Amino acid sequence: MKPSLFALGIATALMASVAAYAQPSSVKPMTFPVTQGKTYKFEKVAEGVYYATGGFGSNNVVIVNDNDVMLVDTGTTPGNTRRFVEDVKMLTNKPIKYVVNTHFHFDHTDGNQVFGPDVQIIGQEYLAKAINPGILNREPYQTSTGAVLQTQMDDLKKQVADEKDAAKKAALNKQLAGAQQMQAELKELKPTPPNKTYKDKLVIQSGSREIDLLWLGHGHTEGDTVVYLPKEKIVATGDLMESRLAYMGDAIFDEWIDTLDRLKKLDFNVVLPGHGIPFGDKKLIDAYQDYLQDVIVKGNELKRSGTSVEDAAKTIDLTSHAKDFPQITGKGADLRGMRRLYAWLTERGGG
Ligand SMILES: [Zn+2]
């Protein structure tokens, strides 16, 4: 499953490098003042709080405090994170003191190595073991990198050769160049875990800024951190809550729904997700909880009826959620998520 998780990241990163906002969404876009860096676009959500998009991997957040800076998530390659740090200098010359990893997935953490020991890299305690090579599931990322990327690139090369439309050809060539750059940049990758961890809650008071790092329970992964700014009423959710469907390959399904209940209890007006676009309407969280519940119920029925996981991924009917998540265009769901669901149902004694 893990090599395909890597593929997801590549696909995500390529999409992000071409058109971060082109994915279908039911969310009404929020508009903020924009600063365009060389690589990243920064949207000023509040004084000193910026939503950053356009690099390889996750969307990030920059929080400029009175005397220092916090970055939320890094990206898919060390090179990408260096470009991020360069672009942040357009916003402020204050030093980066904190980096928060919202969870262990490589598209949020594989730039960690560019920071020196003077920078606190903070994550929930689960990340310390999840990111160490050879422990849990980090190793396959590294061994599969070349093969997965190469397959993607071969595929893109074929598409470029077959494409007649000049504009589409140019867009595909841009994706190919991005994949080649990523392949080169991954050669120096050293998975780097946080150097500071917490269990349930860590409050950082930096000058007049209060930043709460909260573990609200299992969900997208075991160690998801929510970054909450109580005064500004902003919450950065990583992939625990995106504006679109999130990857489910490491999900703890039932607890995810409960964790989102706890998220909704926070007082906020803006959600800055790890992928997708900012949104303000808590109804999208309700809709995502309904989706997850439906995945559990329908997945359980399919498993009990003896349907193979491959067939379940093709036939599960989640189309009633397409109004909230327009990337659902027909029956079926991501196979990696369905594999995880079947395994989880077995762990729980269901199906
Ligand atoms: Zn993730």
pLDDT in tens, 234-266: 999 999 999 999 999 889 999 999 999 999 999
Pairing of strands 270-273, 234-238: parallel
What pLDDT, on a 0 to 100 scale, did the predictor assign at position 57? Answer: 87
Digit-coded pLDDT (tens) for 300-332: 999 999 999 999 999 999 999 999 999 999 999
The CATH number assigned to the domain holding 30 equals 3.60.15.10
- Domain limits at 7? 2-135+189-281
The answer on 200 and 323 residing in a single domain is no
Residue 145 lies in a domain: no
Return the half-sphere exposure (C-beta side, CA atoms, 13 A cut-off) of residue 158.
6
Number of H helices, E strands in the chain: 10, 13
Cα distance between residue 79 and residue 188, in whole Å = 9
Work out the average pLDDT over 105-120.
94
**Distance from the alpha carbon of residue 87 to the mean position of ligand 1, in angstroms:** 24
The answer on 313 and 226 residing in a single domain is no
**Distance from the alpha carbon of residue 113 to the mean position of ligand 1, in angstroms:** 19
**Distance from the alpha carbon of residue 67 to the mean position of ligand 1, in angstroms:** 30
Residue 162 lies in a domain: no
**Distance from the alpha carbon of residue 103 to the mean position of ligand 1, in angstroms:** 7
The answer on 242 and 116 residing in a single domain is yes
- As for how many domains the chain has, the answer is 2
Name the residue among 34, 105, 102, 49 with its Cα closest to residue 72.
Answer: 102
Q: Which two tokens stand for residue 79?
A: 């090179």
The answer on 212 and 81 residing in a single domain is yes
What pLDDT, on a 0 to 100 scale, did the predictor assign at position 147? Answer: 66
**Distance from the alpha carbon of residue 60 to the mean position of ligand 1, in angstroms:** 13
Name the residue among 301, 291, 315, 314 with its Cα closest to residue 345.
Answer: 301
**Cβ pair 228, 70 in contact under 8 A:** no
Residue 183 lies in a domain: no
What pLDDT, on a 0 to 100 scale, did the predictor assign at position 75? Answer: 87
Work out the average pLDDT over 288-293.
98
Model pTM greater than 0.85?
yes
Query: Which of 248, 281, 314 is the C-terminal boundary of a domain?
Result: 281
**Distance from the alpha carbon of residue 225 to the mean position of ligand 1, in angstroms:** 11
Place of tokens 């808590």: 282
**Distance from the alpha carbon of residue 101 to the mean position of ligand 1, in angstroms:** 11
**Distance from the alpha carbon of residue 220 to the mean position of ligand 1, in angstroms:** 7
What pLDDT, on a 0 to 100 scale, did the predictor assign at position 23? Answer: 57
Identify the residue with better confidence: 171 or 13. 171
The answer on 197 and 49 residing in a single domain is yes
Digit-coded pLDDT (tens) for 5-26: 344 444 444 444 433 344 567 7
Residue 146 lies in a domain: no
- Give 233-266 as a DSSP string: TEEEEETSS-SSPPP-TT--HHHHHHHHHHHHHS
Q: How far is CA 339 from CA 137, 205, 308, in A?
A: 16, 41, 10
The answer on 309 and 205 residing in a single domain is no
Work out the average pLDDT over 60-85.
96
